[in-house]
Amino acid sequence: MSRRNDPIEALIELMARLPGLGPRSARRAVLHLIAKRAQLLQPLAELMTEVAASARECLNCGNVGTGDICNICADERRANGLLCVVEDVGDLWAMERSGTFRGRYHVLGGTLSALDQVGPEELRIPQLVTRIEAEAVTEVILALNATVDGQTTAHYIADQLAGRVALSSLAQGVPIGGELDYLDDGTITAALNARRRI
């Protein structure tokens, strides 16, 4: 059997395309799955089939779930007027892991980028503006990455929402446990500019 027709090799090649996995890591993962076929491989294959059939984007916020409306949007306790804007679902899940934010989210699906020809219509910015009034949002928290595109997007959104709702952004600067010697110039500058009295 040629390598091209070998399903194990095909699985390794496919897994090597996943973020964080190269060919060697993919090979180790596949060999481990095969060795634990009953405990891992078969349940994983079944779940992947189920997720492929049922996963969808929340019609309200853009999160990923198995229904038209995700669990966060469906939770009435989270309808408290706070809306956190993030770039992608991974950022939403990171915020949820912290367990700190108890409002709702809005996933943009990326950032504005003139270089990549991504404008407001390619993102979920028009839907954000609509949600502000429809859900009686009182504060929008811009939790966008501290990149040039992220900050450009934050400024654009702030302009669109000016006068409609209170706006805030995540604090930026020195992380807890961070040492100044290891930080880049941009982080130090942001920390210095966001300094507060003690």
**Residue-wise pLDDT tens digits, 44-89:** 999 999 999 999 999 999 999 999 999 999 999 999 999 999 999 9
What's the CA gap between 69 and 113, in Å, rounded?
Answer: 29
Phi and psi torsions of 140, nearest 5°: -110, 125
Which is more confidently placed, 152 or 186?
Answer: 152
- Cβ atoms of 118 and 112 within 8 Å: the answer is yes
**Residue-wise pLDDT tens digits, 7-19:** 999 999 999 999 9
**What is the predicted pLDDT for the residue at 1?**
43
**What is the predicted pLDDT for the residue at 91?**
94
The single-letter code of the amino acid at 39 is Q
- Cβ atoms of 191 and 178 within 8 Å: the answer is no
Mean pLDDT of 114-130: 91
